[in-house]
Structure 1
Amino acid sequence: MKKTMMATWSESEESSEEENEKEVANMCFMTIDELDKVNSNFSDENMHDVFEELYEDFGKLSLKNISLKKKIQQLEKELGEVKEKFSIVEISKTHLEKENEILRKKNEWLTSSLSIFSFRKKSFELILAKPKMCF
């Protein structure tokens, strides 16, 4: 079996503009005796061995592909579970933030109330400590 290849190039070394406009393409035909190269590199037995090795590699890769597909499915399932748990945590976080804000406001109110009570207690004690005046 012979294969023919064709290569082309243009002559760009011409000096005048007129000659540049009339570029001529030259062709070169090369023939390669492909069969001789194949026969010199591999025998039928070698080709059979290479084919068997490729077939074994294909089998191994197919099994690995199946295993990786199962692993992907498992990881996608785990990802879904993690996303669901994350959603629950986000809802809990929002709820806790609201509860925290309510408790903070309640703490401020109680602190303010205690301050007022403390001030009134001191005022009451001062009133009690003053001598009674008779009218």
Structure 2
Amino acid sequence: MKKAMMTTWSESEESSEEENEKEVANMCFIAIDELDEVNFNFSDEDMHDVFEELYEDFEKLSLKNNSLKKKIQDLEKELEEMKEKFSIVEIYKTHLEKENEILKKKNEWLTSSLSIFSCGQKSFEMILASQKCVLTNKD
């Protein structure tokens, strides 16, 4: 494993004006080799055990992945069914809104007709009340 360290410095010596204008910060990357700290002495049995663990993890994750794919398919199917039901509900809603408008207009017409009938009835009663009843008794 290698690590890199970054350091910066600038010249602290006095220099001419030309050199001051051209002075740039210098960077230095120092690589430190620390391969001695890492132990690469794995036995074949250790490698085989690690491989077995990885394979078991792979199998578990593969089963979970397949299960999740199946769940996604089921949810997508359910979503399509819900979309179909929603479209049917939307059609029914539109139909009910139209029917509601028709019934509102009919209600307005009936209210108007009843109002006209009431006025007619009052007029008729006034006419009847203004007439004199002439009854003769012939015995």
TM bucket by the smaller chain?
0.7 to 0.9
Quote the Cα distance in structure 1 between the aligned partners of 2:33 and 2:112: 102
The structure-2 alpha-carbon separation of the partners of 1:45 and 1:20, relative to structure 1 and needing over 3 Å to count, comes to: farther
Unaligned 5+ segments in structure 2 are 135-139
AA at the equivalent of 1:92 = Y
Q: For 1:33 and 1:107, how far apart are their aligned partners in 2?
A: 93
Partner of 2:33: helix, strand, or coil?
strand
TM-score (norm 1): 0.77
Other-structure match for 2:40: 38
**CA distance in 2: counterparts of 1:128 and 1:56, whole angstroms:** 104
Q: Which runs of 5+ in 1 are unaligned?
A: none
Instruction: Mark the structure with the bigger radius of gyration.
Output: 2
Q: Percent identical across equivalent pairs?
A: 64
Deviation at 1:7, TM superposition (A): 4.6
Q: Secondary structure at the match of 1:37?
A: coil
When residues 110 and 19 of structure 1 are mapped into structure 2, their CA distance, relative to the original with a 3 A threshold, is closer
Q: Number of aligned residue pairs: give it.
A: 130
Specify the code of the residue in structure 2 equivalent to 1:38.
F
Cα RMSD for the two superposed structures: 3.0
Q: How does 1:1-135 map to 2 (within 5 A)?
A: 7-12=5-10, 14=12, 18=20, 21=23, 23-26=25-28, 28-33=30-35, 37-39=39-41, 43-132=43-132
Whether contact under 8 Å (1:10, 1:24) holds in the other structure is: yes
